[in-house]
Chain A
């Protein structure tokens, strides 16, 4: 039997259906749901990135499967793989060519800090992409699983909109 309390409860709880949004929040929502990555796979992590876009894990559920090859049309640069000193200039150029607003996800241990290729006397590896430009999300792993990449993307969306799409599942 529905009481007055119940129907009042229904009235108060209309937030899932009606949104009062300022323009910023609307734009942030739009940007978060339509993050177009730049095809920038360097090494092993690139294969896991491709697997994340494939049918089993499917990045396109979040609107992120449109991998654009041109940096001018991409929003997020997923640095998947090791950055070399020879390659560093090219990476920086690509980052500069992306229009604002842009974000960077460092995928894999190599992009975070040089990965397994850091040893005393190393001469070729840049120890982490954040030595070149600012990074928004770090995804550890060697290589990280596609689920980890999706989690990283969700974290980026949370950074943009302030709200998380799905709750974090705590292992029992």
Chain B
């Protein structure tokens, strides 16, 4: 059905309209997901904690995110006295935009990518660093000691975890030979043993590489057990303390949008994107299945593990993940040199 849509659109309508449709599509995808991932999180948390979770608001609580959205939209927007008003207002938007922009290059299904950019991976990571700046601005402009401590922690945490992530991505670029996400997914055609995560004849440590990528993704999106920045029991609400109403709502949504982005990237890079595991009927359905499986694991990990200390977190990155990703990089280049395929 999507193929028909694509054909019809490209045949009869001009390019700007195609882009507009994609824009609306991505915005609504992110919006709906951000809202309903909250529902998934609360229901998942509830089930892990052996209680029902939201049940009253609509059937099985499905209207809960709508109620939350209605409430947040109609809340008073307080800008505390003495804050830097421009930065204070801009920070949530700065956090949401990179995720939205990066979703432009993700291949959803054969041929269904908003833009088939040759340097797609590079673009995603370029935009991803804006995240750090956004939270730091939010924390700094709030004129609140808790927010500043939280902003300082986030900067050191994100900088520390970007390095192994980029090393892993460089490894993948060497393995696949391209930065174009569409090409990467096309290379993984066939049944599931063709997926990049099982490509051990080029990089024997490929599953380890996936784990490193996943961990760094958790840290970059500030999810537990790496949520030192918003350590609820220590820093009140961290960098978001002074945000009320929709300002806070946008931060909330941005966190889920970033998780979506990270999991889509992991799916495209390692798990074969829209390729089907049994070799038949590839398409968007498989992409969504893998994506939501990863998102569910993110939720699961949050409600299971306690938080590490801050230096434990940084030690994990500098002393364990960076050496590990360097080792995989060197090993991959050695394998590629010794066994040119």
Binding site for B on A (CB under 8 A): 26-27, 29-34, 36, 54-56, 58, 60-63, 65-66, 68-70, 72-73, 75, 97, 99-101, 165
Residues of A within 8 Å of B248, CB to CB, are 72-73
Name the prevailing secondary structure of the A interface residues.
Answer: loop
B56–A70 CB distance below 8 A: no
Answer whether A27 and B64 are a contact pair too, CB < 8 Å, given A60-B53, A68-B237: no
Is the beta-carbon distance between B232 and A33 smaller than 8 angstroms? no
Contact of B46 among A36, A60, A70, A75 (CB under 8 A): A60
Instruction: Pick 17 A–B contacts, CB within 8 A, sort by A.
Output: A27-B70, A29-B70, A30-B67, A30-B68, A30-B70, A34-B68, A34-B71, A36-B71, A56-B51, A58-B52, A60-B54, A62-B56, A69-B233, A69-B236, A72-B248, A73-B237, A99-B78
- The A-contacting residues of B in range 258-305, CB under 8 angstroms, are none
Residues 211-250 of chain B, each 1 if its beta carbon lies under 8 Å from chain A, else 0: 0000000000000000000001100110011111100100
- A44 to B64 CA separation, bound complex (whole angstroms): 31
Told that A33-B56, A60-B53, A73-B240 touch, could you supply 20 new A-B pairs with CB distance under 8 A? A30-B74, A33-B67, A34-B57, A34-B68, A36-B71, A56-B51, A60-B46, A61-B54, A61-B55, A62-B54, A63-B61, A63-B67, A63-B68, A70-B237, A70-B242, A72-B78, A73-B244, A73-B248, A99-B76, A100-B75
Q: Nearest CB to that of B243 among chain A residues?
A: A72
State whether A55 and B49 are in contact (beta carbons under 8 Å apart), knowing that A70-B237, A70-B240, A100-B76 are contacts in the complex: yes
**Range for the number of chain B residues in contact with chain A:** 35 or more
- CB of B329, distance to nearest CB on chain A (Å): 42
Closest chain-B Cβ to A51's Cβ sits at a distance in Å of 12
CB of B72, distance to nearest CB on chain A (Å) = 8
Q: How far is the CA of A132 from the CA of B157 in the complex (A)?
A: 42
B78 engages A34 (CB within 8 Å): no
| In the complex, B337 has a CB within 8 A of chain A | no
> Which residues on B sit within 8 Å (CB–CB) of A62?
54, 56-57
The 7 closest A-B pairs by CB, nearest first: A30-B70, A55-B51, A99-B76, A33-B67, A70-B237, A72-B244, A34-B67
Q: Is the interface of B mostly helix, strand, loop or mixed?
A: loop
Residue of B nearest to A35 (CB): B71
Answer whether A58 and B56 are a contact pair too, CB < 8 Å, given A30-B69, A70-B240, A72-B78. no
Q: Of B70, B242, B243, which is within 8 A of A34 by CB?
A: B70
What is the number of contacts between chain A and chain B, taking CB atoms within 8 Å?
99
Minimum CB–CB distance for A10 against chain B, Å: 21
A153 to chain B, nearest CB (A): 11
Tell me the complex Cα distance, A18–B164, Å: 54
Interface residues of B in 44-92 (CB under 8 A from A): 46, 49-57, 61, 63-64, 66-71, 74-78
Is B199 interfacial (CB-CB < 8 Å)? no
Residues of B within 8 A of A54 (CB): 51
Give Cα A122–Cα B243 distance, bound, in whole angstroms. 40
- Name the residue of chain B whose CB is nearest to the CB of A74: B244
Contact between B56 and A99, CB atoms less than 8 A apart: no
Contacts of A66 in B (CB 8 A): 42
A100 CA to B75 CA in the complex, in Å? 6
Which residues from chain B contact A99 at a C-beta distance below 8 Å? 75-78, 244-245
Report B278 CB to chain A, min CB distance, Å: 39
**Chain B: CB-nearest residue to A27:** B74
Distance between Cα atoms of A59 and B66 in the complex (Å)? 18
Task: Determine the distance from Cα of A116 to Cα of B42 in the docked complex, in whole angstroms.
Answer: 38
Residues of B with C-beta under 8 A to A26: 70
Chain B residue with minimal CB distance to A69?
B236
Residues of the B chain whose Cβ atoms lie less than 8 Å from the Cβ of A73: 237, 240, 243-244, 248
B78: chain A residues within 8 A (beta carbon):
72, 97, 99
Q: What B residues does A33 contact at CB under 8 A? A: 56-57, 63-64, 67
A30 neighbours in B (Cβ, 8 Å): 66-71, 74
Shortest CB–CB separation between residue A30 and chain B, in angstroms? 3
A137–B232 CA distance with the chains assembled, in angstroms = 28
